[in-house]
Amino acid sequence: MTEVTVHVPLDDRAYDVRIGPGLLARAGAEIAPFLTRPRVFVITEDRVAGLHLDSLRAGLAATGIGMEALVLPPGEATKCWSQLTRTVEWLVDQKVERKDIVVAFGGGVIGDLAGFAAAVLRRGVRFVQIPTSLLAQVDSSVGGKTGINSVHGKNLIGAFHQPSLVLADVSVLGTLTTRDFLAGYGEVQKYGLLGDSAFFDWLERNGAAMAAGDEALRIEAVRWSVQMKADIVVRDETEQGDRALLNLGHTFCHALEAATGYDGDRLLHGEGVAIGCTLAFELSARLGLVSQEEPSRVREHLSNMKMKRDLSDIAGELPDADALLLLMGQDKKVVDGQLRFILARGVGQAFVTANVPRDAVRDLLADALAQKTFR
Ligand SMILES: NC(=O)c1ccc[n+]([C@@H]2O[C@H](COP(=O)([O-])OP(=O)(O)OC[C@H]3O[C@@H](n4cnc5c(N)ncnc54)[C@H](O)[C@@H]3O)[C@@H](O)[C@H]2O)c1
């Protein structure tokens, strides 16, 4: 399989997501139709810049497009006010105009930050996502959620701002560390669990070969994930309902990320999502919604993928169940003080509910923590 395109039909905010190998080399030809002058403004970070910025520069130059680049530090801590200010002021300094294109070139951190900078600059300039991590290709580059973190929690400051184009070049995934690749896989398997059991079956058969580097399988996994996300975003762009399904595992994940101080050495976002998915399925089983085989199946797949799946896989101390519950209360999905959960009636059948007894969640966390101590 070579290149595929997923169209995101959002009226006047519609755009294409191109998925395939070698897209950096063709970036100029892809972006040219959006430009009124042959220049783009690239926001990226050190690691990605060191590995791939020259290829992007060459790909743009091939069509006579010049670029200026701002290189930020890598890591979640970059999604903060001071780096946002720095980015927006740099864009102003570069005299970026309303009709110019800002390019977000990196993982989800850069995509979220650069997209938010583009959203607030001159009340909104267009931007193109060139996601370089698996997580960013299957999730964060599509759907228009942009933003930064607050000291009070993740992603609490932000805006909806859809990109004009997404170029997901699967060739660049080859330079990710295994750990970063698998963290992205946490979001991939989430799609199967939340809405498509056929995709989860496919991942059970093909996930390992895909992780090992099979390009055709990578394209297919990214395409399937992006198509699922696009379908949900089109139904509910600003998360009034269905879009919350994409947060399967995330209420747990955000609490765990806060509990580990957003320290990527201990827990990456996608790892937290994977653990959060097993907890969500476990909770569903405890509430009698699914049989005990379902959480076991989720856990077994993650185990086959050599991924974190339980609280015991997180190194170091964690706060107790009550403290974790408190951290979950800071989640954006809290409505009128009521925690909302994504639970499941089976693999591929997730639903949103505010109807979960607090005690059931506390008991689940307490048992998971006890297992951690026990080990
Ligand atoms: N906007 C959304 O809808 C949405 C959805 C999911 C997650 N997110 C956000 O995305 C962020 C996580 O994204 P992420 O996992 O991509 O994090 P990231 O941007 O920090 O990238 C992960 C790591 O991979 C490195 N990297 C990226 N591309 C690389 C490449 N091609 N080769 C080698 N190394 C590479 C980065 O330097 C970094 O160390 C979180 O902030 C999360 O909140 C946003």
Q: Looking at residue 335, what is its pLDDT?
A: 61
Q: Which of the residue ranges 94-103, 157-166, 185-194, 257-266 would you say has the lowest mean pLDDT?
A: 257-266
51 Cβ inside 6 Å of ligand 1: yes
Q: pLDDT per residue over 57-94, tens digit each?
A: 999 999 999 999 999 999 989 999 999 999 999 999 99
Q: Looking at residue 2, what is its pLDDT?
A: 87
Q: Establish whether 145 is a catalytic residue.
A: yes
Find the mean pLDDT for residues 184-199. 97
Paired tokens of 15: 């755009």
Q: How high is the mean pLDDT of the chain? A: 94
Which residue in 52, 126, 154, 269 is the catalytic one?
269
> What is this structure's pTM?
0.95
Closest C-alpha residue for ligand 1 atom 13: 108
Closest C-alpha residue for ligand 1 atom 30: 176
- Quick count: other Cβ atoms within 10 Å of Cβ 153? 17
Q: Does the structure show a pLDDT above 60 at 375?
A: no
Q: Looking at residue 37, what is its pLDDT?
A: 96
CB-based contact 321:366 (threshold 8 Å) = yes
Ligand 1: residue of 232, 260, 269 to mutate (most ligand atoms within 8 A of CB) is 269
Q: Which of the residue ranges 24-28, 96-100, 355-359 would you say has the lowest mean pLDDT?
A: 355-359
Q: Looking at residue 334, what is its pLDDT?
A: 60
What is the CA angle 295-301-305, rounded to 5? 145
Q: pLDDT per residue over 153-167, tens digit each?
A: 788 899 999 999 999
Cα distance between residue 311 and residue 281, in whole Å: 14
Q: Does the structure show a pLDDT above 80 at 351?
A: yes
Cα distance between residue 255 and residue 262, in whole Å: 10
Q: Does the structure show a pLDDT above 90 at 131?
A: yes
* Cα 202 to ligand 1 centre (Å): 24
163 Cβ inside 6 Å of ligand 1: no
272 Cβ inside 6 Å of ligand 1: no
48 Cβ inside 6 Å of ligand 1: yes
Residue carrying structure tokens 């395409």: 223
DSSP summary character for residue 53: I
Closest C-alpha residue for ligand 1 atom 11: 108
* Cα 109 to ligand 1 centre (Å): 5
Q: Does the structure show a pLDDT above 80 at 331?
A: no
Q: Strand 341-344 and strand 350-353: pairing?
A: antiparallel
Q: Between residues 296 and 262, which one has the greater pLDDT?
A: 296
162 Cβ inside 6 Å of ligand 1: no
pLDDT band at 1 (very low <50, low <70, confident <90, very high): low
Cα distance between residue 157 and residue 80, in whole Å: 9
Q: Establish whether 243 is a catalytic residue.
A: yes
Q: Looking at residue 193, what is its pLDDT?
A: 98
CB-based contact 184:133 (threshold 8 Å) = yes
**314-353: b or e for each residue (b if 16 or more CB lie within 10 Å)?**
beeebbebeebbebbeebbbeeeeebbbbbbeebbbbbbe
Q: Looking at residue 71, what is its pLDDT?
A: 98
* Cα 333 to ligand 1 centre (Å): 22
Beta-ladder partners of 343 = 351
Find the mean pLDDT for residues 335-363. 89
366 closest CA partner among 307, 325, 330: 325
Q: Does the structure show a pLDDT above 90 at 320?
A: yes
What is the CA angle 4-135-41, rounded to 5? 80
pLDDT band at 368 (very low <50, low <70, confident <90, very high): very high
Find the mean pLDDT for residues 280-289. 97
pLDDT band at 240 (very low <50, low <70, confident <90, very high): confident
The fraction of the chain above a pLDDT of 70, given in percent, is: 97
Stated as kind and residue range, the H or E segment containing 295 is helix 293-304
The fraction of the chain above a pLDDT of 90, given in percent, is: 86
Cα distance between residue 365 and residue 371, in whole Å: 10
CB-based contact 101:127 (threshold 8 Å) = yes
- Quick count: other Cβ atoms within 10 Å of Cβ 294? 20
Find the mean pLDDT for residues 319-333. 83
Q: Looking at residue 139, what is its pLDDT?
A: 96
